[in-house]
Amino acid sequence: MLRGMISTYLQWITGPGGDCLKNIGLLVLRVWLGLSMFLLHGWAKVGNHAQMSQAFPDPLGVGTALSLNMVIFAEVFCAVLLVAGLAARFALIPLIVTMAVAFFVVHGGALSGEGSGELAFIFLGGFVALFIAGPGRYSIDHYVLRVFRGAE
């Protein structure tokens, strides 16, 4: 019975619908992470830019205002590109760098305790996974690539 269940499961994930499920998973991950980054982090920084630019962390030594602007670029502009799946791998680079700096430098690599970087670590993992896997079929990148390859 267990062998039959495993066989059915393997057919389900590797059969004709398996590719569709993979691409739906990539779409969900892209939209989930991108919208979360944009709505919960980036947009708040845009709205409070004047106040935040005075006290924003400067882990790279480039100045608080420039650090904030670079983070806003990643968390707003790149997050929107990620949601759309437009230049997704390029958009992921600033997001990965931002989350890596947030986790390793700002939060000291701490996963627990007060001031932990747990959320930055989770975002970093998701962004790295998307960078490796790509945006998937349900993205603007996929359709642009098809046009350039002459599939349409």
- The two structure tokens encoding residue 33: 């992470």
The yes-or-no verdict on residue 13 having pLDDT over 90 is no
**Residue that wins the pLDDT comparison between 55 and 83:** 83
Q: Is residue 106 part of a domain?
A: yes
Predicted confidence band of residue 73 (pLDDT cuts 50, 70, 90): very high
User: How many domains is the chain partitioned into structurally?
Assistant: 1
Distances (CA, A) of 55 to 63, 68, 81: 10, 9, 28
The answer as to whether 51 is a domain residue is: yes
5 occurs within a structural domain: no
Q: What's the mean pLDDT in 98-107?
A: 96
Whole-angstrom distance, CA of residue 67 vs CA of residue 130: 24
- For all residues of the chain together, what is the average pLDDT? 91
Which range of residues forms the domain containing residue 80?
19-149
End-to-end Cα, the chain, rounded Å? 46
43 found inside a domain: yes
The Cα–Cα gap between 138 and 42 comes to: 24
- Residue with tokens 């931002």, as numbered in its chain: 98
pLDDT at 21: 82
Number of Cβ atoms within 10 Å of the Cβ of 41: 20
Residue 124 resides in a domain: yes
